[in-house]
Amino acid sequence: MSLIYHVTSKQEWKDALQNNFFETPSLKIEGFIHCSNAEQVQGVLERYYKGKTDLVKLVIDTTKLTNKLQFDFSASVNEEFPHVYGVLNIDAVIDVVEI
């Protein structure tokens, strides 16, 4: 099992449970959902979620994804990040951790 992570709001996760899938604005704009490896989560929180509350970290089992997973290079931080190219199926989320 290989794990990746996605940070979102509690409300967005509640919406996903009602819709039976998870999507983000980046999926419509960029064509994928931004995710992170374990060691990248803290940096993502510091860069994009500073001062925000009511956040959760989705723990995603990549073997359960129904859409394409691809690692893409981000020049702004000089690292490769995992991206899900399509909606995130709920059953691939094996845990939801409050931040």
As a whole number, the mean pLDDT across the chain is 96
- Helix intervals (H) in the chain: 10-19, 25-30, 41-48
Please provide the CATH number assigned to the domain covering 3-98: 3.20.170.20
Q: Round to whole Å and give the CA distance between 42 and 23.
A: 22
As a residue count, the chain comes to 99
Would you say residue 66 has pLDDT above 90?
Answer: yes
Q: What does the pLDDT look like over 19-63, one tens digit per residue?
A: 999 999 999 999 999 999 999 999 999 999 999 999 999 999 999
In angstroms, the Cα distances linking 25 to 29, 34, 54, 95 are 6, 10, 18, 22
Q: Round to whole Å and give the CA distance between 62 and 29.
A: 23
**Domain definitions of the chain by residue range:** 3-98
Q: For position 1, what pLDDT does the model report?
A: 78
Confidence of residue 9 (pLDDT cuts 50, 70, 90): very high
pTM of the model: 0.94
